[in-house]
Amino acid sequence: MSQKERWYKRFWNFLKGARAELKKVTWPSRQEVTSTTIVVIASIIFFGFFLFFCDVAFGWGLAKIKALLG
């Protein structure tokens, strides 16, 4: 058996195994996907604003310290 045949056979076995594993997966319902997507988007917006205001506050604080120290 040549190297290419062995490579092809291993790849084919991998694809068959991957397909078998995908059949075992419990996929989420549309409602679960929608609700978790909303939670992720809300979290991104919240932490985006939070980090923005932290950046502004630290920048303001460092500017005040720099002004005091000269």
Residues 54-68 pLDDT 10s: 999 999 999 999 999
The reported pLDDT for the residue numbered 34 is 98
- Res. 7: pLDDT tops 90: no
Number of helical H runs and strand E runs in the chain: 2, 0
Look at the block and give the residue holding tokens 């790849």: 11
**Tally of domains within the chain:** 1
What percentage of the chain carries pLDDT values higher than 70?
93
pLDDT of residue 63: 96
Distance CA 15, CA 25 (A): 16
- Look at residue 1 and tell me whether its pLDDT is greater than 60: no
Domain that holds residue 64: 3-69
pLDDT in tens, 17-26: 999 999 999 9
Cα separation, 53 vs 51, in Å, equals 5
Name, in order, each residue with C-beta under 8 angstroms of 48's C-beta and a sequence gap of 6 or more. none
